[in-house]
Amino acid sequence: MVNVAIASVGGQGGLTLSRVLAVAAVYDGFSVRTGETLGMAQRFGSVVSYVRFGDSVLSPTFSEGEADYLIGLELVEALRALRLLKPGGLALVASVVKPPLSASLRREELPAEALLEEISRYARTVRVPAVELALRVGNPRAVNMVMLGVFAATSGTPSDSSIRRAIAEVVPARWVESSVRAYELGRSFVLSGS
């Protein structure tokens, strides 16, 4: 059984990422369940998606301390979701900060480096310059696909062919090419040891 938590804010594509991952796992023959908790997702609110796959999966969600992987598309939300990660689990985090409205109104700065250090204090962490990689393919919204590539290269599952097939099925046609390239850059980031 593999438990993956995806932490993001509304509009970042966390739900798309979870769907692509789930569809790819189905193509590889796994039993799959997904679930999410949404907080004003369309208004940049907190979104946590759960993806579980393995031989036999009965429940779509899992409890605190049970995630094998945490994929953070945004650092504040990744920090909040750390409670889901099991001891020894791995946090894959994009160096992206989208401050909550309350912090924005108070003009509080939330420096990415401080958030990354805090996450690293509590979990093994892979830091990813996901925005830079997404911009290389001309699609700044492809951070989610960059992080999918990072997850796939780190975990070794689902298979590359199933992920490519799932991207083509789930992502709108006009974004498939840049999404696949973003996924490839995420894989290369891990495999090249960058």
The boundaries of the domain holding residue 90 are 2-191
- The predicted model scores a pTM of 0.91
Q: Quick one: which H or E segment has residue 182?
A: helix 173-191
> Span 105-112, mean pLDDT?
62
**How sure is the predictor about 108, in pLDDT bands with cuts at 50, 70 and 90?**
low
pLDDT of residue 104: 46
pLDDT of residue 96: 85
Name the domain count of the chain.
Answer: 1
Question: For 40, which DSSP code?
Answer: S
pLDDT of residue 22: 98
> Span 176-181, mean pLDDT?
97
Residue written as token pair 């990354």: 116
pLDDT of residue 41: 47
Collect all residues with Cβ–Cβ distance below 8 Å to 92 and sequence separation of at least 6: 69, 70, 71, 72, 125, 126, 128, 147, 150, 151, 154
pLDDT above 90 covers a percentage of the chain that reads 78
* Residue 118 predicted with pLDDT over 60: yes
Model pLDDT for residues 142-174, shown as the tens digit of each residue:
999 999 999 999 999 999 999 999 999 999 999
* Residue 43 predicted with pLDDT over 70: no
Give dist(CA 20, CA 23) in Å, integer. 5
**How sure is the predictor about 69, in pLDDT bands with cuts at 50, 70 and 90?**
very high
Q: Assign residue 68 the CATH number of its domain.
A: 3.40.920.10
pLDDT of residue 37: 80
Most confident among 94-103, 111-120, 178-187 (mean pLDDT)? 178-187
Strand segments, DSSP code E, in 55-94 are 67-72, 85-94
